[in-house]
Amino acid sequence: WPAYDVLYCLVKDNHQFDDAGGGGGIYINTSSFGMPTLIEGCDVEGNTSNVRGGGMNLQGEALITVRNCRIFNNQTTKDETGEYLKGGSIYNQGTTNSIIVNNKIYNNGGNVYITPRMFANNTVVKNYGQIYVAGANNTSTFANNIIWGLETSDGSKPTGIGSAPAELKAYNNASYHSMPEGKLWQVQGTILFSSNVTNGVIKEEDVKEGTCGSGPRFQDDLMTSFC
């Protein structure tokens, strides 16, 4: 702070503890008068935090953009109830001036915790913890994301998208769970998967009646249909 760009870096196996800021791999705080910040083309892998934001913590009033990154295998520690602390992959609060686009966010322990201007074109799969929108405004957009394979902290059941009351435009997302209701979201064009596992490993007893088990099918999976 003032913040700087982080471009095409490998941010791996770092650990943050004690300091209240959080951010195991990357901590950006543009403050109220910092410079716009770009995080682009980075692999953020295997980082941890005892506070918040295992992969990265993004704060401040100046524009922060995260794009074309892979954010994976990061986590926050668990509290006394067994829940991961906030933001296993990304913790972004205190500003609605962040743009998070075209990223792969997967295999993280802890939720994606955001207050975005835009969260779009992201693939969010196989994380412990939901996507949680902590705040937004009527110009904020949540669009064209694939959200699948998210589970509760103990892996006992699927989870999806949570939200504080927030005006947010949610367009053309694909998810196992529907978009939040009663939260002031403007929702259009949601596609719902009928399964939270891939077609290649789906069990017949897990398929919802009347469907073929329309979880995502990845290229290296063998297609199995129970229709």
For 109-149, the pLDDT digits (tens) are: 999 999 999 999 999 999 999 999 998 887 899 999 999 99
- Output the DSSP codes for 64-95: EEEES-EEES-EEPB-TTSPBPS-SSEEE-S-
Higher pLDDT, 222 or 70: 70
CA angle 220/224/226 to nearest 5° reads 160
Q: pLDDT digit string (tens) for 176-225?
A: 888 988 898 999 999 888 778 776 666 666 666 655 566 666 554 444 44
What does the mean pLDDT of the chain come to?
A: 87
| pLDDT > 90? residue 151 | yes
Could you tell me which of 139, 116, 121 has the C-alpha nearest to residue 58? 116
Contact (CB, 8 A) for 166 and 138: no
Q: What is the pLDDT of residue 227?
A: 37
How many Cβ atoms sit within 10 Å of the Cβ of residue 50? 15
User: Model-level pTM?
Assistant: 0.89
Q: Which amino acid is at 61?
A: E
Q: What is the pLDDT of residue 221?
A: 43
Higher pLDDT, 62 or 52: 52
| pLDDT > 80? residue 226 | no
Instruction: List Cβ neighbours of 200 (8 Å cut-off, separation of 6 or more).
Output: 217, 218, 220, 221, 222, 223, 224
Sign of the C-alpha dihedral, residues 15, 17, 106, 101?
A: negative
